[in-house]
Amino acid sequence: MLSYLSPKATLQQLLVDHPAEVNALANTHVQTVLHHLATCRTAHLGYHLYRCEDEACGHQHYQYHSCRDRHCPQCGALKKQQWIEQRTRELLPVKYYHVVFTLPTELNPVVMGNRTTLFNLLFLASSQTLLTFARDERYLGARLGIISVLHTWGQQLSFHPHVHAIVSGGGISATGQWKEAKKNDYRFLFPVKAMSAVYRGKFLEGLKRLIHSTEVVLPDSLEEKGWFSMLYGKPWVVYAKAPFGGPEQVIEYLGRYTHKVAISNHRLCSFDNATDTLTFQYKDYRAGGTQKQMTLSCPEFLRRFSQHILPRGFTKIRSYGYLANRGREERIRGVLLKLKLPQHPVPVQVPFTVRLWESYGVDVRTCPVCGGKTLRLVAVCYNFKGGEDG
């Protein structure tokens, strides 16, 4: 067993120390992702070699490569910042709302066995619910802008697929005009209870079609008619959070939530080598968000973490309405023109080294031994192409 400094622990340490459990996993894609995370920023992935040009120093500095896997708690900070900057240029000076679409726990076994298909259905049902209400003249009569993000975890790493949606407080009408949302007595743009019922209907109708086309197969233990009756009889939880104060709060949200992984290293507290257990922090929302700790066996922790590894190539952040990818820039320019607002600036490619300096104060030229800006790249070694980036 590795010797760890308590209480600090990392996911990478756990993976390095439990190769047998990782190799025993049946899903080869999950094995590959966990291998990326275990070897991130190690010699296994290759390196950039820098040498100090000061003859009195001559220090050689190895900068090991990141795995670039989207599930890695060590990676993605600079890519995330770049994505946020791109989305920031699309924000308009209007109010934005935050709404969450969840699924009943009774669906979990079916979703787990049909992840790609039913995650896609979750995106489709939630976005179509919002767009349907937005088209209704009673509420807006326009095309909303939506950014949707899939999360699959709860605070205790339980399987809890849900979609967070950022929704504009207005939209583009059929005539191309910008329409502000009408004042109402709802916490959200639309009545949430009515929205929940429509969302439930859209998801379950879509699920029925997938079952009848055999794209989704129910477990033998489920009796289809009774199971659907139970799901139609349950209230589906859709909840709206307090609206964002403005575009600045949206940007802060994007930074915290869009590129989250199932658990970050700062939530890991300690390993106990004697009992092969790991302790981590979580928020107990049933107790008002109180910080608590949970201890799991290391194999159980790995099992829980692994169920949140997305299918290969799956897109977890999607845009709808006037923010849909095709023609998005033209629509944004048109809205700004109609509102007589200045056009957003043309994006500028910022070099990786500049981003490092701006975000972390790291200058890749600075020698860690003599302190001079004398490091020069002398060699590059690529041992592995890295993981999924997105």
Examine the domain organization and report whether 100 and 222 are in the same domain. yes
Neighbour-count burial for 188-208, b at 16+ CB within 10 Å, e otherwise: bbbbbeebbbbbbebbbebbe
Give the pLDDT of residue 386. 56
- Residue with token string 């900057």: 85
List CB contacts of 219: < 8 A, sequence separation 6 or more. 109, 110, 113
Examine the domain organization and report whether 293 and 253 are in the same domain. no
Give the pLDDT of residue 78. 73
Is the alpha carbon torsion for 364, 369, 375, 380 positive or negative? negative
Give the pLDDT of residue 114. 96
Specify the number of domains making up the chain: 2
pLDDT, mean of residues 3-11:
60
Among left, alpha and beta (phi > 0; psi -120 to 50; other), residue 293 is beta
Examine the domain organization and report whether 91 and 146 are in the same domain. yes
In a domain, 385, yes or no: no
Report the C-alpha gap between 238 and 243 in whole angstroms. Answer: 15
Report the C-alpha gap between 282 and 268 in whole angstroms. Answer: 9
In a domain, 351, yes or no: no
Q: How far is CA 363 from the centre of its chain?
A: 29
Distances (CA, A) of 288 to 139, 154, 220, 292, 296: 33, 15, 39, 11, 23
Percentage with pLDDT > 70 across the chain? 94
Examine the domain organization and report whether 87 and 220 are in the same domain. yes
Distances (CA, A) of 174 to 106, 135, 178, 289, 343: 40, 10, 10, 43, 22
Give the pLDDT of residue 213. 96
Examine the domain organization and report whether 234 and 221 are in the same domain. yes
Examine the domain organization and report whether 131 and 199 are in the same domain. yes
**Tokens describing residue 107:** 């669906």
Examine the domain organization and report whether 286 and 318 are in the same domain. no
In a domain, 365, yes or no: no
Distances (CA, A) of 97 to 108, 148, 174: 27, 12, 22
DSSP code, position 98: E
In a domain, 178, yes or no: yes
Give the pLDDT of residue 181. 84
Q: Note the pLDDT tens digit of each residue in 286-299.
A: 888 899 999 999 99
In a domain, 170, yes or no: yes
In a domain, 300, yes or no: yes
Greater model confidence, 207 or 244: 207
**Tokens describing residue 55:** 């003859």
Examine the domain organization and report whether 104 and 241 are in the same domain. yes
Examine the domain organization and report whether 296 and 176 are in the same domain. no
Give the pLDDT of residue 4. 40
Among left, alpha and beta (phi > 0; psi -120 to 50; other), residue 155 is alpha
In a domain, 376, yes or no: no
Report the C-alpha gap between 172 and 143 in whole angstroms. Answer: 5
Examine the domain organization and report whether 100 and 65 are in the same domain. no
Q: How far is CA 23 from the centre of its chain?
A: 26
pLDDT-wise least confident of 1-5, 21-25, 191-195, 220-224: 1-5
pLDDT, mean of residues 62-83:
85
Q: Note the pLDDT tens digit of each residue in 154-192.
A: 999 999 999 999 999 999 999 889 998 877 777 788 999
Whether the per-residue pLDDT at 2 is higher than 50: the answer is no
Distances (CA, A) of 274 to 8, 9, 12: 16, 15, 19
Its domain, for residue 107, covers 77-262+313-338
List CB contacts of 230: < 8 A, sequence separation 6 or more. 106
Examine the domain organization and report whether 27 and 173 are in the same domain. no
Q: Could you give the 3-state DSSP secondary structure of residue 102?
A: strand
Greater model confidence, 229 or 346: 229
CATH of residue 149's domain is: 3.40.1310
In a domain, 389, yes or no: no
Examine the domain organization and report whether 24 and 130 are in the same domain. no
